[in-house]
Amino acid sequence: MITYSRQNISKQDIDAVISVLKSDFLTQGEMVPKFENAISNKIGVSHSVCVNSATSALHIACLALGLGEGDILWTSPNTFVASANCALYCGAEVDFVDIDLATHNMSADALEVKLENIKSQDQIPKIVVPVSFSGRSTEMKKINNLAKKYNFKVIEDASHSIGGKYDCEMIGSCKYSDITIFSFHPVKIITSGEGGMALTNNSVLAKKMMLLRSHGITRHQEELLNNSQDPWYYEQLTLGFNYRMSDIHAALGCSQLKRLDSFVKKRQEIARYYDDALKDLPIILPKKSPDSAYHLYVIQIDNSNTSITRRKLFEYMRSEGIGVNVHYIPVHTHPYYKQKGFEVGDFPNSEKFYQNAISLPIYPSIDKKQLKKVVLSLKAILS
């Protein structure tokens, strides 16, 4: 099966993990700080906080920004549910902003209209979470300007986007966000097995997130509330979680990070190949973006030029051994969110995109023969 995405593990990755397995520390050793420093240096951000998943990173980011009961978080419907669930974990409410049909990201124009329509009410979001879908950055500059005007915080969910760029900066630099989130799940651009990271240029937020990821406990003398010189002494300062990343995972992340540029370059090459090979088929190709990290390559069925349905195409490609996938079922249409009052039709652009979207295989180790099979299979059913 040619999967839609998969990890790329080298001998160097394996050796890095084995080295930790043979060391004194499998967790809470030197590898997590090493991974954090390597990411900060690569991306050009002041602070990086490793955790065990991007979901955990979203959660502690919201808490660090003070999200709680009575607050509202807005995000995109075109995302995995974690981008919305993080608000509910904090006791806050969730609402959505529809996408731009050209980029499939949160529409900054729609965000502005929604803010303008409610500015006289006590419903301004405390946090907005734009999602950089598929590896392409959202319009972060405009969203940042709106954040200053309406006084909300911004968490950029860049789970798809490490290695991509926006406005001549690496995505994750936090030039236009308070916090940015990365995912290191195996299908993402680099992997630590499982893992995530929250990045920020704010030292106060970084300290809060570091505290929250490890039970709310500190051993740092300058943070202790009681004056104790005992070498074993620690204090729980807040209610935190066991969201730590192990040294095993961090070692894999460090090794993978060394190949980030080559991974992104290969993904961009694959995207260009698809752009050229599929241009005459009755499908809508993703808008070209030379700065995208291309975690996903999502086409849409052009219903005006073919009678082939997305379901038929999906089943045919799977029968050919090509593991296409669909990203994403709009969050507000899930039964859990319908119970909260959301309905089909609330965010029509997201729903329209979902109805015809299908993700093609894209990952660094896919070879020319496999890519040709993907293209020929699409031509066989669509031509």
On whether both 299 and 339 belong to a single domain, the answer is: yes
- In whole angstroms, give the CA distance from residue 212 to residue 296: 31
Q: What is the mean predicted confidence (pLDDT) over 77-104?
A: 98
> Which two structure tokens, joined as six digits, stand for 18?
């084995």
pLDDT at residue 317 greater than cutoff 90: yes
On whether both 166 and 198 belong to a single domain, the answer is: yes
Q: What is the pLDDT of residue 122?
A: 74
Number of domains in the chain: 2
Q: Which pTM does this prediction carry?
A: 0.97
On whether both 318 and 200 belong to a single domain, the answer is: no
- In whole angstroms, give the CA distance from residue 354 to residue 101: 11
On whether both 85 and 220 belong to a single domain, the answer is: yes
Closest CA relative to residue 201, chosen from 326, 43, 325: 43
For the chain, give the mean pLDDT: 97
Q: What is the mean predicted confidence (pLDDT) over 228-251?
A: 95
On whether both 90 and 233 belong to a single domain, the answer is: yes
Kindly tell me the burial class for residue 264, based on how many C-beta atoms sit within 10 Å of its own C-beta (0-12, 13-18, 19 or more). Answer: buried
**78: amino acid identity, one letter:** N
Q: What is the pLDDT of residue 228?
A: 86
Match 């505290």 to its residue by tokens.
Answer: 211
pLDDT at residue 103 greater than cutoff 90: yes
Query: Residue 326 — very low, low, confident or very high, per pLDDT cuts 50/70/90?
Result: very high
On whether both 306 and 370 belong to a single domain, the answer is: yes
On whether both 345 and 231 belong to a single domain, the answer is: no
On whether both 180 and 283 belong to a single domain, the answer is: no
Spatial contact of 74 and 155, defined as CB atoms under 8 Å apart: no
Match 């420093």 to its residue by tokens.
Answer: 37
Q: What is the pLDDT of residues 296-306, one digit of tens each?
A: 999 999 999 99
Q: What is the mean predicted confidence (pLDDT) over 104-130?
A: 93
On whether both 239 and 206 belong to a single domain, the answer is: yes
Q: What does the radius of gyration of the chain's CA atoms come to, in whole angstroms?
A: 22
pLDDT at residue 121 greater than cutoff 80: no
Query: Residue 222 — very low, low, confident or very high, per pLDDT cuts 50/70/90?
Result: confident
On whether both 249 and 290 belong to a single domain, the answer is: no
pLDDT at residue 119 greater than cutoff 80: no
On whether both 242 and 294 belong to a single domain, the answer is: no
DSSP secondary-structure letter at 106? B
In angstroms, how far apart are the furthest CA atoms of the chain? Answer: 76
Of 205, 240, 257, which residue is a domain's last?
Answer: 257
Task: Check which CATH number belongs to the domain holding 92 and give it.
Answer: 3.40.640.10
Angle of the 54-64 helix axis to the 203-212 helix axis, nearest 10: 120
Is cis: bond before 297, omega within 30 of 0?
no
Q: What is the pLDDT of residues 348-382, one digit of tens each?
A: 999 999 999 999 999 999 999 999 999 999 999 99
On whether both 10 and 125 belong to a single domain, the answer is: yes
Enclosing domain of residue 348: 260-382
DSSP secondary-structure letter at 350? H
Of 229, 257, 285, which residue is a domain's last?
Answer: 257
